[in-house]
Amino acid sequence: MGKSESSHIFSNLNVSWLSDEAQSPKQAIDSSIEISQFDYALPAHIGTAHATIMQTRDNISIYKAEHHYHADQSNPEHHHYPIVKGELTLDETGFFAMFSEREVVQVDKTMTPDTHRYGMGTGHFRRTHQLSIEAFHNVTQPFNFISFSLGDSMLTKLIGVELQERLYERLGLSQPPAATVVPVPYAHTQPLFEAVTNDYSGRLQELYIHGKILEFISAFANYYLEENRLTLQNSDRHLISELHQQLLVLEGKLPSIADLAERYGMSPKKLNTLFKQCYGQPIHSFILQRRLEEAHALIADSETPLKLIAHRLGYSHQNHFITAFKRQFGYPPGHLRNRREPG
């Protein structure tokens, strides 16, 4: 693609690999092109990963990484495996938003606190003019990562000074450098994961990506700036966060709302309301959607039988799982597996 009139935010990005087994030097991103792609330097027993970086003409950049991990789950080191270090210096303070389908741990010695954990149902946000982060992944299962960034001046242009200042204040980003992890409804981040696609090319691809990022910004800003949004007490926020972490690793039969409410010491209605406020969905809807997303990844990247997947997800019958999967994605699980078979 042609040269850009101004270098994008990721144009100064330098990538280096943390694993001793990778044996790979730093990799600089070519700022002369509007789209860059590169493979991660990973040992074969860990899996593969591929990243795409693209900018729009409004100097908004997006970074998508697809991780096809398959390391041994019984090895504890594979649950916190060193992957990549990214270093970046900007001409102006930038706003970064990062999302992952699995837990990511990022370590950054340039600010306090220096360790941030985020995954499904949360987002990691930063304001800084300098970035130096190390990322650690659970490399036993595949997942996607998406991030976008833009300068403060561009965000001001998009939503205005007043809304920008209110949003930064609500997120705790008023005084950069600053970073935070906050709940983000999956319905808001889904457009970002759909943004980088091969369905479009050239200017149409750029327009599509731009539209998906703007869709997220408008929905997310409205969610966090909504005047009548309830304010959670710190104790409630801690309990809901604890519940969210429990639900992320939950397998088998779904617990009832009444059982969860009794465990967390509040009424079923209040528990469900607070959870929806933080994560955008009622508890059971959140669990079902996450499990189906997990099933989608397993079907696409493994030979695990559908019956076993259905049992792991708590479905009493495989047909019930197939019906729910088709309702969520628009096609049955068998169709997904058949698409990747040769011929």
Q: What is the pLDDT of residues 31-54, one digit of tens each?
A: 444 678 888 988 889 999 999 988
| pTM exceeds 0.95 for this model | no
Q: What is the DSSP letter of 341?
A: S
From the number of C-beta atoms within 10 Å of its C-beta (0-12, 13-18, 19+), residue 332 rates as middle
Rounded to 5 degrees, what angle do the CA atoms 293, 298, 299 make?
Answer: 95
pLDDT tens digit string along 51-74? 998 888 778 889 999 999 988 878
Query: H or E element: which one contains 143?
Result: strand 143-151
Architecture of domain 9-225: Sandwich (2.60)
Tell me what the mean pLDDT of segment 18-43 comes to: 65
Question: How many whole angstroms separate alpha carbon 190 and alpha carbon 293?
Answer: 11
CATH topology of domain 234-339: Arc Repressor Mutant, subunit A (1.10.10)
CB neighbours of residue 323 within 10 Å: 13
Where does the chain hold its CATH 1.10.10.60 domain(s)?
234-339
Q: How confident is the model at residue 30 (pLDDT cuts 50, 70, 90)?
A: very low
Where does the chain hold its CATH 2.60.120.10 domain(s)?
9-225
pLDDT tens digit string along 241-288? 788 878 877 777 778 889 898 888 889 998 988 888 777 778 988 888
